[in-house]
Structure 1
């Protein structure tokens, strides 16, 4: 940090198992990725190239090298995985991971209907090749999954070999964990936490109010994802109690 302030919550340091910030890159240029890393690379733990944007991104190799040289893992959005699966191209998807020397992959079924045992099989296969993140929750706002089912799905995917499970929210934060208004389904979240360890869950929380909710519930070192590049530093100040939303929360050692 640039100077000393007392009573700041202790943040985990990279490489960390919790306190993750996952950034969604929706098509940054190589120079924009370089600028983001220069400004806040120390706050970024992993980058997702949103949905299937990697398919149409120019100079993809060069951008991946920028992240790789900064020590920031990258994975391709789960929608791309689903696009391969629905076309019976799982082996081709695995070749893409190898082609771009990717260390992580996302397995999801938010846009397609997939037998859950089949999804777990994909996780078991891919974990031998890469570190797997699996996503639970539908991108269809009309599909409401009961809490017990979220827990069951998450646990089975962890048992299959997922490193972390992702709570679905989309880039807008208006499905899955959240109502269409962006309001957190707090009962769902708290029910999940009765069975699934917090360090194993990466909560997609693109909206500031959602980030504040999770930080107040679970502390500065909660895993948060789908963070926009220009929101990385604002999020870090929320984690540290240096923005109005959490200003009082961490004073005198509270909330840590």
Structure 2
């Protein structure tokens, strides 16, 4: 930090197991990726190339090399996995991971119907090749999953080999753990946290009010995902009580 200030919340240090900021790259150019790294790298833990944008992003290898040079972990969005799987091309997907020297992969079923036991088998298989991040929750706002089922799914995926489990919200922040208004499903979150360690979950929180809510509930070192590149610095100030939304919260603590 550029200044000395007393009583700032203590942030975990990179590489972190909790306090993670996962950033959503929805198709940044190589120049934008360079600018992003210059500004946000100290506060970003991993970059997700959203859904299947990696398939149509120009100069993909050059952009991935920018992230490698900056020692910034990255991975392809889970929708790409689903797109290969539904076409019976799982082995081809694994070859794509090898071709691009991927160290992480996301396994999700937000857009397809996939029996959960089968999903866990894919997690187990890929966890021997890469670090797996799996995702629970549907992209369909009409599909509501009961809290007990969220807990069962998360626990099973962690047991199958997931490093972290993402709680679905989409980049819009109005499905999964949120109502269609963007409001947090508080009862759901409370129940999940009675059964699952908070450091095992990355909560997708693309909207500032959602980020504030989780930071006030869990603390500065909550794992948050689907953060827009231009929102990384603002998020870090919220984590540290240096923005009005959490200023009084941390002073009172």
TM-score, length of structure 1 as denominator length: 0.98
Aligned length: 253
How far off its partner does 1:230 sit?
0.5
Partner in structure 1 of residue 221 of structure 2: 221
How far off its partner does 1:5 sit?
1.0
Summarize deviations over 1:121-158 as a string: whole Å, max 9, x none: 00000000000000000000000000000000000000
Give 3-state SS (helix, strand or coil) of 2:234's partner. helix
Partner in structure 1 of residue 64 of structure 2: 64
Give 3-state SS (helix, strand or coil) of 1:247's partner. helix
Q: Distance in 2 between matches of 1:233 and 1:157?
A: 31
What is the RMSD of the two structures over their aligned residues, measured on CA atoms? 0.5
Matches within 5 A, 1:1-256: 1-251=1-251, 254=253
Q: Distance in 2 between matches of 1:73 and 1:101?
A: 11
Q: Distance in 2 between matches of 1:235 and 1:115?
A: 36
Q: Distance in 1 between matches of 2:73 and 2:127?
A: 16
How far off its partner does 1:53 sit?
0.3
How far off its partner does 1:202 sit?
0.3
Summarize deviations over 1:62-114 as a string: whole Å, max 9, x none: 10011111111111001110000000000000000000001000000000000
Q: Distance in 2 between matches of 1:141 and 1:28?
A: 27
Q: Distance in 1 between matches of 2:81 and 2:61?
A: 19
Structure 1, unmatched stretches of 5+, are none
Give 3-state SS (helix, strand or coil) of 1:230's partner. helix
TM-score, length of structure 2 as denominator length: 0.99
Give 3-state SS (helix, strand or coil) of 2:162's partner. coil
Give 3-state SS (helix, strand or coil) of 2:202's partner. strand
Q: Distance in 2 between matches of 1:154 and 1:251?
A: 34
Query: Which 4+ runs in 1 deviate beyond 6 A?
Result: none
